[in-house]
């Protein structure tokens, strides 16, 4: 303490001369008092100390506070104020790294080229989003990707450049029983995953410890520990809808994307995030706007691709790139990848069938399809189902159901009028 006080005195006494020429010389008790000066005029590190109504030397506030903290029990507010007064902005870690633009180009030129994990869909070091409607097979493809990377066995038709690497798959969707049923054949033989493929289940009943500001902060800290524990180089989140509330509720999901971005940088990870889409109208190309909260989520992603059902080939899906920063658009609207879902023994997987323009897999409903849909809606309504229940069952928007009901009821009226004639 004595050494600290001596050091601080030397640092702060010079500032005192701005206010008093001889700060260490006491003013005689009979000498006339100096004119009063406002507190605001005194330098911020100093205050006028008075003993027996006689002004004495100008003592540094910092010195007085340190003495006080030594005499009294630790006071958090006081200690924080001491830290603030001792703080030197020049000691802060720099927030910005500033270099000439040509130097940035040279730095990147000396680095090895970005490696592929799933062709141009997903590159090493990227935070990538895969989104689709429910029951499309997002989780099946995500597990297939994790299995491929952990074994260094490329998915047919797509390049995989990195060696076999540890993968952490955080599953918010399936229970242990459901996961076992999905990857076990009819004879009860389970699929043999690599030892580097780690799967984590989440306790949704866990309570946030008090020292975390939010539940998302708690999740981020937990993921940080899990990555260190497993040595994972690849992280797969299934999915952010469960992790951050709802894709449509951009607040929690956006906070989670910030946490994942931080984890990616800290641990040099490649991250794949799965997300749901809200109900979308059929017969239209899928775009980045079909991802709920896309204006927020997509901005944090380095790349994104979507999965949609083929309208012309049953049990088939197609994948389409909707955003890419580090690579080129290989699988856009004119060259989507068409897959078929298969079971190979105890493993569910997608097999590549080929490439095609997206419009070939978009089925535009003709009049016959519309009439059939109207009949379904009217039938369900006559059974007492609500419009919302009908919309959920037929995977339509509520507005679409209301229009079909109005169209169907108008058609029934016309039929009655014709019959009466």
What pLDDT, on a 0 to 100 scale, did the predictor assign at position 230?
97
Does pLDDT of 73 surpass 70?
no
216 & 311 share domain: yes
Residues in Cβ contact with 271 at an 8 Å cutoff, skipping those fewer than 6 apart: 126, 127, 128, 234, 235, 236, 237, 260, 263, 264
Q: What is the mean pLDDT of the chain?
A: 79
For the chain, how long is the longest CA-to-CA vector?
123
pLDDT band at 117 (very low <50, low <70, confident <90, very high): very high
In the chain, pLDDT over 90 holds for what percent of residues? 41
351 & 396 share domain: no
39 & 160 share domain: no
pLDDT band at 17 (very low <50, low <70, confident <90, very high): very low
Please, are residues 100 and 281 in contact by the beta-carbon 8 Å criterion?
Answer: no
pLDDT band at 46 (very low <50, low <70, confident <90, very high): very low
Could you tell me if residue 273 is inside a domain? Answer: yes
| Residue-by-residue DSSP string for 39-105 | GGGS-TTEEEEEETTEEEEEEEHHHHHHHHHHHS---HHHHHHHHHHH--GGGSPPS-----HHHHH
In the chain, pLDDT over 70 holds for what percent of residues? 70
**What confidence tens digit (pLDDT) does each residue in 26-36 have?**
444 444 555 55
140 & 231 share domain: yes
HSE, CB side, 13 Å, CA atoms: give it for residue 273.
31
pLDDT band at 72 (very low <50, low <70, confident <90, very high): low
Could you tell me if residue 84 is inside a domain? Answer: yes
Most confident of 164-173, 283-292, 383-392: 164-173
168 & 261 share domain: yes
Could you tell me if residue 164 is inside a domain? Answer: yes
Could you tell me if residue 230 is inside a domain? Answer: yes
Domain containing residue 153: CATH number: 3.40.50.300
**What confidence tens digit (pLDDT) does each residue in 361-420 have?**
987 656 557 778 888 898 888 888 898 888 888 888 888 888 888 887 776 533 343 344
What's the structural domain count of the chain? 3
271 & 216 share domain: yes
Span 21-25, mean pLDDT?
A: 44
263 & 346 share domain: yes
Residues in Cβ contact with 20 at an 8 Å cutoff, skipping those fewer than 6 apart: 57, 58
What pLDDT, on a 0 to 100 scale, did the predictor assign at position 409?
79
Helices (H) and strands (E) in the chain, counts: 13, 13
pLDDT band at 282 (very low <50, low <70, confident <90, very high): low
Span 239-244, mean pLDDT?
A: 71
pLDDT band at 69 (very low <50, low <70, confident <90, very high): low
What pLDDT, on a 0 to 100 scale, did the predictor assign at position 412?
54
What pLDDT, on a 0 to 100 scale, did the predictor assign at position 113?
76
Could you tell me if residue 239 is inside a domain? Answer: yes
185 & 323 share domain: yes
Could you tell me if residue 94 is inside a domain? Answer: no
Could you tell me if residue 270 is inside a domain? Answer: yes
Q: Which of 314, 333, 361 is the last residue of a domain?
A: 361
76 & 151 share domain: no
Q: Which of 361, 385, 400 is the last residue of a domain?
A: 361
163 & 292 share domain: yes
What pLDDT, on a 0 to 100 scale, did the predictor assign at position 419?
44
131 & 158 share domain: yes
Name which of 69-73, 162-166, 339-343 the model is least confident about.
Answer: 69-73
Does pLDDT of 325 surpass 50?
yes
Please identify which residue in the block is written with the tokens 């005499």: 71
pLDDT higher for 42 or 250?
A: 250
pLDDT band at 182 (very low <50, low <70, confident <90, very high): very high
301 & 376 share domain: no
What pLDDT, on a 0 to 100 scale, did the predictor assign at position 237?
95
What pLDDT, on a 0 to 100 scale, did the predictor assign at position 35?
52
Span 124-130, mean pLDDT?
A: 95
The residue segments making up the domain with residue 254 are 116-361
Q: Which of 54, 89, 124 is the last residue of a domain?
A: 89
Could you tell me if residue 103 is inside a domain? Answer: no
Name which of 98-102, 157-161, 241-245, 258-262 the model is least confident about.
Answer: 241-245
pTM value? 0.66
């Amino acid at each position: 303490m004595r050494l600290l006080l001596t050091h601080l005195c030397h640092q702060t006494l010079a500032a005192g001369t701005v206010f008093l020429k001889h700060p260490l010389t006491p003013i005689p008790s009979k000498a006339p008092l100096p004119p009063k000066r406002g507190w605001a005029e005194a330098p911020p590190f100093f205050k006028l100390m008075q003993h027996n109504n006689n002004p004495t030397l100008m003592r540094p506030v910092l010195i007085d506070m340190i003495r006080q903290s030594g005499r009294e029990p630790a006071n958090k507010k006081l200690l924080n104020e001491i830290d603030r007064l001792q703080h030197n902005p020049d000691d802060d870690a720099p927030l910005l790294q500033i270099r000439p633009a040509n130097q940035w180009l040279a730095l990147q030129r000396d680095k090895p080229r970005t490696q592929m994990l799933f062709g141009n869909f997903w590159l090493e070091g990227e935070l990538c989003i895969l989104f689709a409607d429910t029951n499309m097979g997002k989780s099946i493809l995500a597990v297939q990707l994790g299995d491929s990377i952990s074994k260094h066995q490329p998915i047919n038709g797509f390049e995989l450049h990195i060696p076999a690497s540890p993968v952490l798959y955080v599953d918010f969707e399936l229970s242990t029983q459901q996961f076992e049923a999905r990857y076990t054949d009819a004879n009860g033989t389970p699929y043999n995953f690599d030892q580097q493929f780690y799967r984590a289940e989440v306790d949704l009943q866990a309570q946030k410890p008090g020292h975390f500001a939010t539940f998302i902060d708690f999740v981020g800290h937990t993921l940080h520990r899990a990555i260190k524990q497993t040595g994972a180089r690849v992280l797969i989140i299934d999915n952010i809808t469960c992790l951050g509330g709802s894709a449509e509720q951009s607040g929690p999901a956006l906070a989670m994307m910030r946490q994942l971005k931080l984890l990616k940088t800290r641990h040099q990870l490649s991250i794949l995030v799965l997300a749901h889409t809200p109900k979308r109208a059929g017969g239209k190309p899928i775009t980045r706007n079909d991802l709920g909260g896309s204006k927020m989520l997509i901005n944090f992603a380095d790349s994104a691709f979507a999965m949609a059902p083929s309208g012309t080939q049953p049990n088939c899906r197609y994948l389409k790139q909707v955003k890419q920063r580090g690579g080129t658009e290989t699988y856009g609207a004119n060259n989507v990848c068409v897959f078929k879902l298969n079971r190979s023994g105890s493993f569910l997987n997608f097999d590549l069938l080929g490439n095609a323009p997206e419009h070939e897999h978009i089925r535009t409903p003709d009049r016959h399809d519309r009439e059939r849909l109207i009949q379904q809606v009217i039938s369900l309504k006559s059974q007492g189902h609500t419009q919302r229940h009908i919309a959920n069952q037929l995977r339509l928007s509520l507005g679409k159901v209301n229009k079909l009901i109005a169209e169907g009821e108008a058609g029934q009226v016309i039929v009655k009028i014709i019959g009466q004639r």
